Homo-oligomer: A and B are copies of this chain.
Amino acid sequence: MPVIIQKYGGSSLATPDLIKSVAAKICATHDSGNSVVATVSAMGDSTDNLLSIASQVSVMPDLRELDVLLSTGELQSCALLTMALKDMGKKAVSLSGAQAGIRTDSSHGKAKIADIDTSRILVELEAQNIVIVAGFQGVTSDSDITTLGRGASDLTAVALAAGLNADRCEIYTDVEGIYTADPRLVPEAQKMTQIGFEEMLELASYGAKMNPRSIELGMAYQVPILVASSFNDEPGTLIYDGGNMDSTVGEIRNRVRGIATDKDVAKITVFSVVDRPGIAADLFDPLAESDISVDIIVQNASVSGTTDLTFTVKQSDVNRAMKVVEEVANNLGTTNVGKTENLAKISIVGTGMQDSPGYASTMFRALSEANINIEMITTSEIRITCIIGAEMVGEAAEVLHAAFELERSD
């Protein structure tokens, strides 16, 4: 019998009625002749509520205890969904992360899955049970509960699919799939029927709110992932290993698949840094120690022994980052540090772009014709990213969507 893994997000389980309709969806998959293992997030806002209570009993909640606390949200939705299934006459059983054999390291709050012992799940499937697994959590070799990080119920689903060698992993959420751009910015945005893992990784920053680690895991274990709505029966988007086919099909297919946007960006430039080995480490180690994520880094070509180093951080981190940079600037041989706030990141994503010049110039020309100034440019193999003013991001997404004819996507 085919094994299907499903995942339902918190907004899909926010009320007793929604839990019942998720149960009905699972029943339908089971009735079509599949073995079903479903994993769930915590109901609605319950994780945020638990975090709020934790902050009221402790200034800096202990990470091990926070994991125990937060893991209860998924246990609750897991038990409730299983009750609803049994009420519909189905054989079903709930399993905690520990019972499902999801073994992790002991990095509380952001644990990594070490391996999955599927023996208990296999016993339950053998007994004709629908298996509901609490998402987002695992257990250490010392039997301590861990959580995998925000949004990591997706990861549980893909890991179960990999461990059980499942036929498919289905992520049901509050969007209908992966779009060519954020539909809130670009009304013409099209839902894709399919997309490659690598392209999806680049797009993961918007829309489907897919956890990037789960896409990486799906790519590593070649688990096809369907992203679809839990609120209707529309077909959704299949993320699969065939993304690179685009480049072999050649010029016929449009190589830009989608536009990713992120409005939470600020940039910091350290001017006239002495250009010597180790300069980057001297700057970025203190930022990492302060737990500030640096996104894009651009170092201009060295002129007369000094160089300008520019990098982006989240808008909310910019003041803390400035403080750290100003403290270390002296060691870098400069005191000249500047910041620009309220920026946005806009990217075009598609496999095979690297081999095909013209995409970059099309992008830059489209932005220029719309009078949108580009502050920084970076590229990866399958992505070209520009940093622009945050207030321009909607217009930029519109003109790029039109320039690459994405309204004509599949």
Question: Residues of A with Cβ closer than 8 Å to B?
Answer: 16-17, 19-20, 23, 50, 53-54, 56-62, 64-66, 68-69, 71-72, 75-76, 78-84, 86-87, 93-94, 96, 98-99, 120, 143-145
**Bound CA span A54–B82, Å:** 10
> Which residues of the other chain, B, contact A62 by a CB distance below 8 angstroms?
82-83, 86
Q: Within the complex, what minimum Cβ distance (angstroms) separates A379 from chain B?
A: 45
Asked if A61 and B83 make an inter-chain contact with CB atoms under 8 angstroms apart, the answer reads yes
Residue from A57, A59, A76, A80 having most chain B Cβ neighbours under 10 A: A57
Contact A57 B93 (CB under 8 A): no
- Taken together as a complex, chains A and B put the C-alpha atoms of A19 and B57 apart, in Å, by 7
Would you list the 9 A-B pairs with minimal beta carbon distance, nearest first?
Answer: A16-B56, A72-B72, A68-B79, A69-B79, A58-B83, A58-B87, A57-B84, A65-B79, A62-B86
- A69–B40 CA distance with the chains assembled, in angstroms: 14
List residues of chain B with CB within 8 A of the CB of A66.
79, 83
Say whether, besides A93-B64, A143-B99, A57 and B69 are in contact (CB < 8 Å). no
Contact B53 A68, beta carbon cutoff 8 Å: no
Name which residue of chain B comes closest to A93, CB basis. B64
Shortest CB-to-CB span from A233 to chain B, Å, is 22
Say whether chain A's binding surface is mostly helix, strand, loop, or mixed: helix
| Chain B residue with Cβ nearest A52 | B16
* Inter-chain pairs besides A68-B75, A72-B79, 13 sampled, C-beta below 8 Å: A16-B57, A17-B56, A53-B80, A54-B83, A61-B83, A65-B80, A65-B83, A65-B94, A69-B75, A75-B75, A98-B143, A99-B143, A120-B143
Separation of A388 and B19 alpha carbons in the complex (Å): 48
In the bound complex, CA of A93 to CA of B60 (Å): 15
Q: When A68-B78, A76-B72, A78-B68 are in contact, do A83 and B99 touch as well, CB less than 8 Å?
A: no
B residues less than 8 Å from A79 (CB atoms):
65-66, 68-69, 72
